[in-house]
């Protein structure tokens, strides 16, 4: 087998990059390169098809305001959305954040009542906040049961700012909220997961402060090419200090 390469497909990079979600691309790219794995980053814009490669692929879909979501919803409703669904059903690794996550469900309803069609990766939909409901804003600490690790429970931290309330149908939540709002501020769930597709409301950006999740996504992508590949440990002191700083502040208790 030749040198494994990773291609990060950054969906709507120029439009869906709210609150620095591009940091997720940088985190995955650097953690792969620090292990000697060459990485290409492809921006997949309006009217451009998603083109999986013959090596390892990972697809990122960042957050964006209602205006950007409306601009790209029709672009997603054709073959592009069908291709993304097929990639997920085939076990492809996808991370959708906030506005990108919302459009991975059946629909995102705007405050004006327009239902923007989603890709339907997750059995869920998102409704607008009611007149008496505030935007869901703030730091989030959530607990993830990572199936790759059996029953190991891990935590993630991030920042949320969304008006939409996501209601899960059969979709499996990604995490349980410990502090913050998550999907809708009422059912205690955060995000969604299906096979190797992850959806979350956590900006931050999410991945730099949650190195275990970054490596999980990276490993899931690489193992689709080489099922025996392992990732050598990195010195995560800075990443874990960033995680602990936010987790400690959010949970009100100092973390070592
Ligand atoms: N426009 C969506 C909402 O407000 C998503 C916002 C975002 O991506 N932060 O719910």
Q: What is the pLDDT of residues 93-138, one digit of tens each?
A: 999 999 999 999 999 999 999 999 999 999 999 999 999 999 999 9
| Residue 19 CA, closest ligand 1 atom number | 9
Cα(237) to ligand 1 centroid in Å equals 32
DSSP state of 90: T
Instruction: Give me 198's structure tokens.
Output: 């992850």
Residue 255: pLDDT above 70? no
pLDDT bracket for residue 4 (50, 70, 90): very high
Q: Which domains does the chain have, with CATH numbers?
A: 6-251 (3.40.50.880)
Arithmetic mean of pLDDT, 168-194: 97
The pLDDT tens digits of the residues spanning 59-88 come to 999 999 999 999 999 999 989 999 999 999
Residues forming beta bridges with residue 6, ordered by sequence position: 39, 56
What's the order of all strands across the beta sheet hosting 189-190? Answer: 153-162, 136-145, 175-179, 189-190
Pocket test for ligand 1, best of 11, 60, 63, 158 (most atoms within 8 A of CB): 63
Q: How far away, in angstroms, is 77 Cα from ligand 1 center? A: 19
Q: Is 53 left (phi over 0), alpha (psi -120 to 50) or beta?
A: beta
Q: What is the pTM of this model?
A: 0.96
Is 203 part of the annotated catalytic residue set?
yes
pLDDT in tens, 7-43: 999 999 999 988 889 999 999 999 999 999 999 999 9
Give me the chain's average pLDDT, please.
Answer: 95
190 CA to centre of ligand 1 in angstroms: 14
How high is the pLDDT of residue 193? 97
CB of 162 sitting under 6 A from ligand 1: yes
Closest ligand 1 atom to the C-alpha of 128?
Answer: 10
Percent of the chain with pLDDT over 90: 91
């Amino acid at each position: 087998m030749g040198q494994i390469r990773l291609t990060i497909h950054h969906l709507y990079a120029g439009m869906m990059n709210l609150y620095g979600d591009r940091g997720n691309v940088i985190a995955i790219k650097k953690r792969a390169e620090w292990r000697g794995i060459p990485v290409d980053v492809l921006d997949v814009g309006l009217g451009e098809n998603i083109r999986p490669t013959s090596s390892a692929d990972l697809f990122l879909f960042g957050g964006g305001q209602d205006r950007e979501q409306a601009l790209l919803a029709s672009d997603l409703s054709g073959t592009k959305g069908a291709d993304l669904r097929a990639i997920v059903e085939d076990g492809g690794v996808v991370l959708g954040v906030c506005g990108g996550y919302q459009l991975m469900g059946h629909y995102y309803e705007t405050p004006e009542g327009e239902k923007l069609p989603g890709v339907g990766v997750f059995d869920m939909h998102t409704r607008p906040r009611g007149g008496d409901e505030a935007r869901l804003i703030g730091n989030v600490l959530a607990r993830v049961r990572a199936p790759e690790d059996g029953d190991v429970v891990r935590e993630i931290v991030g920042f949320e700012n969304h008006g939409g309330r996501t209601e899960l149908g059969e979709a499996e939540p990604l995490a349980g909220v410990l502090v913050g709002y998550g999907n809708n501020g009422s059912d205690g769930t955060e995000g969604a997961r299906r096979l190797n597709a992850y959806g979350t409301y956590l900006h931050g950006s999410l991945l730099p402060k949650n190195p275990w999740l970054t490596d999980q996504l990276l490993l899931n992508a690489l193992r689709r090419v080489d099922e025996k590949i392992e990732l050598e440990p990195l010195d995560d002191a800075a990443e874990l200090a960033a995680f602990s700083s936010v987790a400690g502040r959010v949970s009100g208790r100092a973390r070592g």
